């Protein structure tokens, strides 16, 4: 395939959109999503697809306020142990089944009981789901959960057709059926995901495209070239080094929003045999690796200073950031001393990295800097879904990966570092961390929650199952014929009100 991929053959063969229909929106993704099942999936790009495919109980505004979507209102009991939601009437799933309180109950049950579900820790506080009437549902909690509404603004709140989910089981992601503005048509791995407008959507008048096609193009240069050639209408994650060029192009517009998440290195500390190495066994080796990296220089070299150096799961601008642990300066001698204290002059480690040019450059900068401190790093490039699969299975030593971020700080931390957490690929387990992060979930007092997160940060800063590196800015590039696009800090592409203009 030539670097500039064209869609003419794909459109002729399988998209179901005639040449006369000029309302197929083509979006370039940096990666190919993993399984399209909200209970099983974990990729950022998968969430971009879900924004068009699967409505949630609640959504957010660009200012991070939680607002109605499938739930039109909610109230808490005085003791914080019950959440009652009223649901939108007249909503149907893509298979025609009605959305109602019974469907919500079935979805929560699936998230909690499907063996492959990654949402279990996110809805763990729910001990009962009661159907009050067809459009009222009540969740009973084991303890107050300050994070629950934020969880419902993401995959835990995405509603699937109970009938389709029950019939498909673990294979639901092969042909997902939700209730969003677009329904699933087809997927060709590593090539395209095609959705078409769902005419029975409750807010169909706000949707102005007949179809949306997502095209994974990992190479940032090729992705931008496709946009300029007219083979894409917009792309997510424009490279920071291409911003000036795109802004100077009269045919393109650039939009951005500071992300809620982080980028870092996840370390395998107890996930199978590959954790049995100096990096996995000894936190002093992990501390040495962290000290070997100059985060500010990395930001300048790779991102032209567009991102923020980091060492925590939330950026320095976040109210949850712990000021007593500032971003560490590079200290090669201190790193060497830690290695010697751990009994090593040099340590060989393997880091897996996504096979796109920007992330390879990040990894190469780490490789060069760490080499001066006593690390011999080999890099293994993998397609993103493969990298995630190997990470989950423990088939890795270290993984250059990040997280797109959530509205509530719990979403950036709990599931990654608690014993049995849904995305704890390190298999890091410290009961003290569990106690602190669980305590943070049970209070609506921001000061109480902040104290718990600060105490957890002191421990995690020493243990370092994840070495945080930087916080990115989401940057989109789009054809100037697109009107109505709003950038969100969660990086999603919401298509309500977006349209082509002459």
Does 58-165 match 8-53+181-259+474-500 at the fold level? no
- pLDDT attached to residue 57: 98
pLDDT bin (cut points 50, 70, 90) of residue 502 is confident
pLDDT value of position 347: 98
Judged against a pLDDT cut of 70, whether residue 422 lies above it is answered with: yes
The answer on pLDDT for 8 being more than 60 is no
Fold of 8-53+181-259+474-500: D-Maltodextrin-Binding Protein; domain 2 (3.40.190)
Per-chain mean pLDDT for the chain: 94
Q: Tell me the CATH number for domain 58-165.
A: 3.90.76.10
15-40 confidence digits (pLDDT tens)? 433 333 459 999 999 999 999 999 99
Cβ atoms of 217 and 226 within 8 Å: the answer is yes
Q: Quick check: 5 pLDDT over 60? A: no
pLDDT, position 317: 83
Report pLDDT for 316: 87
Q: What residue spans of 331-474 are helical by DSSP H? A: 332-341, 357-371, 384-393, 414-417, 431-441, 446-463
pLDDT tens digit string along 358-400?
999 999 999 999 999 999 999 999 999 999 999 999 999 999 9
Host H or E run for residue 90: none
**CA distances to 29, 76, 187, 312 from 232, in Å:** 10, 45, 18, 35
User: If we measure between CA atoms, which residue out of 417, 416, 411, 454 comes closest to residue 433?
Assistant: 417
Segment (H or E) for 78:
none
- Provide the percentage of residues in the chain whose pLDDT is more than 70: 96
Digit-coded pLDDT (tens) for 66-83: 999 999 999 999 999 999
Please state the domain extents for the chain: 8-53+181-259+474-500, 58-165, 262-471
Q: Do residues 62 and 488 touch, judged by C-beta distance below 8 A?
A: yes
- Residue 252, CA distances (Å) to 313, 480, 483 in order: 33, 5, 12
Digit-coded pLDDT (tens) for 457-492: 999 999 999 999 999 999 999 999 999 999 999 999
CATH class of 262-471: alpha beta
pLDDT score at 1: 40
- Give the tens place of pLDDT for each residue, 316-344: 888 899 999 999 999 999 999 999 999 99
Residue pLDDT, tens place only, 253-264? 999 998 999 999
Q: How confident is the model at residue 9 (pLDDT cuts 50, 70, 90)?
A: very low
Rg (CA), the chain: 23
What's the pLDDT score for residue 6?
36
Estimate to the nearest angstrom the gap between the alpha carbon of 411 and the chain centroid.
10
Residue 253 β-bridge partners: 478
What's the CA gap between 177 and 43, in Å, rounded? 19
Digit-coded pLDDT (tens) for 286-308: 999 999 999 999 999 999 999 99
The torsion angles phi and psi of 83, rounded to 5 degrees, stand at -120, 120
Q: Could you tell me the two tokens for 500?
A: 């082509």
Write out 163-223 in H/E/C secondary structure: HHHHHHHHHHHHCCCCCCCEEEEEEECCCEEEEEECCCCCCHHHCCCCEEEEEECCCHHHH
What three-state secondary structure class fits 419?
A: coil
Please write the tens of the pLDDT for every residue from 165-189: 999 999 999 999 999 999 999 999 9
- The pLDDT of residue 444: 84
User: Can you give the pLDDT at residue 22?
Assistant: 52
């Amino acid at each position: 395939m030539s670097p500039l991929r064209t869609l003419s053959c794909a459109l002729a063969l399988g998209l179901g959109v005639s040449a006369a229909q000029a309302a197929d929106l083509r979006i370039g993704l940096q990666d190919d999503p993993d399984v399209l099942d909200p209970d099983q999936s974990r990729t950022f790009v998968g969430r971009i697809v879900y924004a068009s495919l699967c409505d949630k109980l609640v959504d957010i505004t660009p200012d991070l306020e939680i607002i109605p979507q499938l739930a039109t209102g909610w109230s808490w009991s005085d003791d914080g142990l019950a959440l009652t939601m009223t649901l939108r009437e007249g909503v149907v799933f893509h298979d025609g089944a009605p959305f109602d309180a019974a469907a919500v109950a079935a979805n929560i049950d699936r998230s909690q009981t499907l063996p492959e579900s990654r949402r279990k820790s996110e809805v763990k506080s729910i001990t009962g789901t009661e159907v009050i009437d067809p459009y009222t549902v009540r969740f009973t909690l084991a303890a107050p959960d300050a994070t629950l509404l934020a969880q419902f603004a993401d995959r835990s709140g995405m509603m699937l057709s109970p009938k389709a989910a029950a019939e498909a089981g673990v294979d639901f992601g092969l042909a997902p059926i939700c209730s969003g503005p677009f329904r699933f048509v087809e997927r060709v791995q590593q090539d395209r995901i095609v959705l078409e407008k769902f005419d029975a959507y409750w807010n169909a008048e706000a949707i102005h495209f007949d179809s949306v096609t997502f095209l994974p193009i990992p190479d940032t240069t090729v992705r931008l070239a496709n946009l300029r050639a007219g083979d894409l209408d917009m792309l997510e994650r424009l490279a920071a080094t291409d911003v000036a060029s795109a802004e100077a192009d009269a045919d393109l517009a650039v939009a951005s929003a500071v992300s809620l998440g982080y980028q870092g290195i996840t370390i395998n500390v107890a996930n199978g045999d590959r954790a049995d190495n100096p990096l996995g066994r000894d936190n002093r080796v992990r501390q040495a690796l962290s000290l070997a990296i100059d985060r500010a220089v990395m930001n300048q070299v790779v991102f032209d200073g567009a991102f923020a150096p980091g060492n925590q799961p939330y950026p320095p601008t976040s109210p949850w950031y712990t000021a007593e642990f500032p971003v560490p300066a590079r200290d090669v001698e201190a790193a060497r001393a830690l290695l010697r204290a751990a009994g090593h002059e040099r340590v060989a480690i393997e880091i897996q990295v996504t096979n796109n040019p920007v992330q390879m450059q990040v990894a190469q900068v780490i490789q060069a800097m760490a080499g001066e401190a006593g690390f011999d790093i080999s890099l293994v490039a993998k397609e993103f879904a493969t990298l995630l699969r190997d990470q989950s299975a423990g088939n890795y030593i270290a993984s250059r990966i990040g997280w797109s971020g959530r509205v509530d700080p719990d979403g950036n931390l709990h599931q990654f570092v608690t014993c049995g957490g849904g995305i704890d690929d390190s298999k890091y387990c410290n009961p003290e961390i569990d106690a602190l992060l669980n305590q943070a979930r049970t209070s609506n007092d921001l000061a109480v929650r902040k104290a718990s997160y600060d105490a957890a940060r002191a421990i995690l800063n020493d243990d370092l199952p994840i070495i945080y590196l930087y916080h990115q800015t989401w940057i989109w590039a789009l054809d100037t014929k697109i009107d109505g696009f709003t950038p969100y800090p969660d990086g999603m592409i919401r298509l309500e009100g977006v349209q082509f203009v002459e």
